[in-house]
Chain A
Amino acid sequence: MINRLYLIEASGTNPTENLALESVLMDQVNFHEMILYLWQNDNTVVIGRNQNVRKECRLNEIKRDGVHLVRRSSGGGAVYHDLGNLNFTFLTDDENYSEERQSQIICNALRKLGIEAECTGRNDILCQGKKFSGNAYYHHNGKSYQHGTLLIHSDLSKMPVYLQPDPEKYKARGVDSVRSRVTNLADVKPGLTIDQVRTALIQACEEEYGVSAEMYSRPDVDVLAQRTAKFASPEWIYGQELPFDTSCEKRFPWGSIRLEFRVEHGIVTHVSVWSDSMEPDIIDVIPELLQGSLFQSEELCKRLSVKDHPIYRDLCELLKEQV
């Protein structure tokens, strides 16, 4: 049974700081307490705990547009967040944790706003057969959380720009994202605002647990800073980069070429080249040049710049386009 219900809202829209706060709340929540944490990330791709970053994300586009890229602690697939989306997290101990009950709170909140949603237990929450809330879960040290998105007036055109469209492009171990038909709640209920949803959620939560929500005091600044550093570290975001195989190919005036890469922990460990070019001397040394490089177009191009040759210049363009 839940004796105390707490509410805390993120102080900003930085995804790294927001994930860090969530993680600290998980450590701090006591038995028989429920913390409802509400937060928004601006312009952010969030990948699941066990996903391969390159397999899921179009890193060049993410970098080009200054999109944040973060990894959460829970499972599941990659999503895009902006300020048209509201995130919620229910944090409690394992005993009081109930996905059924927590999802029902979401449905009850929406009903207050005149929206009929379907809660299907552990699955996503749907409205008129389309997903507007993706949920994921984390169980650690006797505590659990369920968190999810609520698409209210999110820019749905961004997702395909930053998430990998071709699951066949990278062959790797790791959890695959599942594509779903999504909808914004403001399309179901025109004029719906984030604030209305926030207020309804808090009310529905109080009704479900039969207690009034108290404000949760913000955790210690140093503890938050340390946790933020963990979520910001390349080891956390990319370090789980599991080995993968990928390829790129193109036809040029001098012939066509296909490069196949084996990448382990971000480093090219093996390259195979197929080409009908009439310059084998130039082609045959490519694996030697590229093996050992970081798997980034800039680094790969630097390796190819040892010799100023038109084929290498074309290859560099190809790598910039496709890596």
Chain B
Amino acid sequence: MKTPEELKYAKTHEWVRFISDTEVEVGLSDFAQDQLGDLVFVNLPDVDAEAVEGEAICDVESVKAVSDVNAPVSGTVTEVNEALLDAPETINSDPYGAWLFRLANVTDTENLLDAEAYIKFCEEEAH
């Protein structure tokens, strides 16, 4: 399982890449894509939607399961990765390249984990 050092993670298995202090890119972690199995569909949020930390912002479908994607931080959606609509499997093959959406005016970042803490959290969850 890959867990890049430079990223932050939520306990709901989203990764966060800081573009600046208040802008982030969000995707699903390698652990998440592995647990979900083959992704077949992605519903992206609307641009300008308000993301609230810990609440569902959009969802994905994998092997007959629809699962929430939670907002790992709060902010406003500025951009969504439309390329995923035609190629949801990219989340499986390249989880850290397959960003879902970008947020601006980011707040509520204090619950994010660093890579080391996230790896530990996943190990506990797997047991």
Contact = CB atoms under 8 A, between A and B. Distances in A.
A75 to B, nearest CB: 4
Interface stretch (B2-10, B65-73, B91-99, B114-122): B65-73
Contacts of A184: none
B90 interface: no
Given A50-B43, A175-B40, A75 B65 contact: yes
B64 A135 contact: yes
Contact of B65 (A77, A137, A173): A137
A74 B56 contact: no
Centre residue among B40, B41, B64 by max chain A CB count within 10 A:
B64
A141 B37 CA distance: 20
Interface of B is mostly: strand
Nearest to A134: B64
A214 B56 CA distance: 32
B41 A75 contact: yes
Interface residues on A, range: 10 to 19
B86 interface: yes
Contacts of B74: none
Interface string A129-157: 00000011111110000000000000000
A138 B66 contact: yes
A50 B64 contact: no
Given A140-B56, A141-B56, A173-B85, A74 B41 contact: no
A287 interface: no
A173 B86 contact: yes
B78 interface: no
Interface string B54-67: 00100101111111
A76 B43 contact: no
26 contacts: A48-B61, A48-B64, A49-B61, A49-B66, A50-B41, A50-B43, A50-B61, A74-B64, A75-B41, A75-B61, A75-B62, A75-B64, A75-B66, A76-B64, A122-B63, A122-B64, A135-B64, A136-B64, A137-B65, A139-B66, A139-B68, A140-B66, A141-B56, A141-B68, A173-B85, A175-B61
